[in-house]
Chains A and B, each alone.
Chain A
């Protein structure tokens, strides 16, 4: 997975999603306020960026997404997508949406599912067929395309959910917990897909409570907590720790490391750490899987205290 560099044009790109003082309060039958799901939110999302809505469960991520999709009406403020009110149906021509649980019709198979959603976009039969075939191949369901979705595993359901979200080749893709229920390989593929969408010029809005996923793919994030916007900005800027200096190198001997340490101490640096960095668990797992597939029956990752196999 290679996260693409953000460009300056992206920052100056056209605003395609805008929330103005957007809020949502769920009420009971008598109209009494039951829960404030989203406090007034101002947000702008530009063309070509991957924007993450981050927050713990119940923080208002999904509510924000539903407001942007026009699935629910705001209590106050407005959501504007492609210059139109979010409740305007015509904007949906340019949108793809993957709900949190891939709410699809379980009695359809993969081909029928994509054909059905293709029809909803008024697509001609040849184009429907071409796109459905391509998407089924893309999400790796070629061998299972004739099985009803009720027989699919959660990961497979998620993948066909992604395919239906992309059936219309949308400009804006909204993904609600895209990696939910996926194994590490599926998670990596999903993240690769999101980055690929960006490379193809799509705008992606995703919400997740899995920090690593957001960190890996998002250009900008909004952190929500208890329905309130707590942080908003570029991921690399938000994560940068300005009072720590990091030096990375390969093939550095012990003596050189000691010399560097001495130089840092001479210049007043403290809490110095010099050692081998650790990889992420995700990278380790993927390495194991790939190695096992390449060389079946062999222990994939060698421990350092074990002798190397001849």
Chain B
């Protein structure tokens, strides 16, 4: 996820935003009044113009004061009836067709099918709802004016503001209903599309035994479904899980039998449609000599969102996380990371660029031994930093340290990223590394996405009207 600026808390921006809105609205009103006065002055002189502008402003205020909810609702109902009689619901049929045929074109073997399906359905919903309310809004009032139906309305005790507000409200309701229906259909489509499981036979598993022959677990691979398999690890009690492939994993449990006659069942997709709740840190850099630096290296990309660190050098990207408490992370630190790569030579293109991650005490400088990984570039990789870590001391000896006792200091911890391959570069932004402090519900996050679309729909049709 690209996050160029930290998202402020709702409570911190709403108040100033309302003040800004009112200020801008007042400025626009003053500007419009001055413009009207200038235009009228040219025609009828400054005094008469001032009088007309003054009366206009008074009439506008009276307009606002005399607004009736019943009349606004009557006009809103009219807009809804107009939309329905113009067969606006046809768009739902179109949406259904899109959903039906989307399965043909969306690749379930993609790196992250959840993201693909979700992105597609939200984009289609956004486009269709915006388009419908745009067409309705743009043609509604001009059609009334052209057909002169507006004359029978304006000769009733109806304010201009009520006509506009009624239309806005009516089309807002139409857009909302369409959005809710499409949202539900889209949600069902995404969930059904990514939903799958695999089969696992006992013969596909290899028992892991100790020297005395005791079985300590099983390893194997699942059946091929939707173009992928998972590696499976199962404990002797028959409980296990798969690895993460295509952004998801499955739980595994033995449902009957034992040993070679055991039958296993894999659960539904986990981790694909989840709302990650990130704990973000502050990013700083070390240059190739290991000196602190405000920025990483520019590799010439116009967009300077990501900064790069050179591989095979002392260059590092360091995130400082705060508020790390043992109660919140009893299993260790679930680090999630997105690392981009800039290659100065092609090398083995099938092979990822190797790097390392260490955790470090920001006060004492004590750091863990590195965790090695290869950059997956376009998918979010996860790494669990365990409670007990190996740390190599200056004399070369290795000792076990506790994450919260030795590494975390005052709730703060540093995560140090380095690229290990010379002449290759890692590109990172502050939001690319975060600690996963829990999971929200997918439905709530999906609803938030729909709310975002709703706001854009309201913006579109209000502007169009």
Report which A residues bind B (CB closer than 8 A).
Answer: 31, 69-71, 89-90, 92-93, 95, 97, 99, 101, 103-105, 107-108, 112, 116-117, 119-122, 148, 161, 164, 168
Instruction: Give residues 147-161 of B contacting A (CB, 8 Å).
Output: 147-159
Q: Which residue of A lies closest to B85 (CB)?
A: A107
Separation in Å of the B71 CB from the closest CB of chain A? 6
Q: How many residue pairs bridge A and B at CB < 8 Å?
A: 71
Which 7 residue pairs spanning A and B have beta carbons closest together?
A119-B74, A107-B85, A103-B148, A120-B156, A97-B155, A92-B157, A103-B149
Which of B74, B81, B148, B159 lies in contact with A99, CB distance below 8 A? B148
Further 20 A-B residue pairs, CB within 8 A, beyond A69-B155, A71-B154, A92-B157 = A31-B43, A71-B155, A89-B66, A89-B159, A90-B157, A92-B156, A97-B152, A103-B150, A104-B149, A105-B78, A105-B82, A108-B78, A116-B77, A119-B74, A120-B71, A120-B74, A120-B156, A122-B68, A161-B152, A168-B156
Separation in Å of the B149 CB from the closest CB of chain A? 5
Report how far A104 CA is from B154 CA in the complex, Å.
12
Q: A108-B81, A116-B74 are in contact. Are A95 and B149 (CB under 8 A)?
A: no
Residues of A within 8 A of B68 (CB): 122
Separation in Å of the B395 CB from the closest CB of chain A? 88
Which of B70, B73, B157 lies in contact with A89, CB distance below 8 A? B157
Report how far A69 CA is from B153 CA in the complex, Å.
12
Hey, what's the 0/1 contact readout for B78-112 against A, CB within 8 Å counting as 1? 10011001100000000000000000000000000
Which of B73, B74, B82, B153 lies in contact with A107, CB distance below 8 A? B82
Separation in Å of the B58 CB from the closest CB of chain A? 12
Chain B, interface SS category: helix
Separation in Å of the A267 CB from the closest CB of chain B? 57
Report how far A104 CA is from B81 CA in the complex, Å.
14
A71→B151 contact, CB < 8 A: yes
Residues of A within 8 A of B153 (CB): 120
Report how far A97 CA is from B158 CA in the complex, Å.
14
Residues of A within 8 A of B82 (CB): 105, 107
Report how far A119 CA is from B76 CA in the complex, Å.
11
Residues of A within 8 A of B147 (CB): 103
| 25 intermolecular pairs with C-beta atoms under 8 Å apart | A69-B155, A71-B154, A71-B155, A90-B66, A92-B157, A93-B157, A95-B155, A97-B152, A99-B151, A99-B152, A103-B151, A104-B149, A105-B78, A107-B82, A107-B85, A108-B81, A116-B78, A117-B152, A117-B156, A119-B70, A119-B71, A119-B77, A120-B156, A120-B157, A161-B152
Q: Which residue of A lies closest to B157 (CB)?
A: A92
Q: Which residue of B lies closest to A167 (CB)?
A: B156
B81→A112 contact, CB < 8 A: yes
Q: A105-B78, A107-B86 are in contact. Are A122 and B158 (CB under 8 A)?
A: no
Separation in Å of the A77 CB from the closest CB of chain B? 15
Residues of A within 8 A of B81 (CB): 107-108, 112
Residues of B within 8 A of A107 (CB): 81-82, 85-86
Residues of A within 8 A of B154 (CB): 71
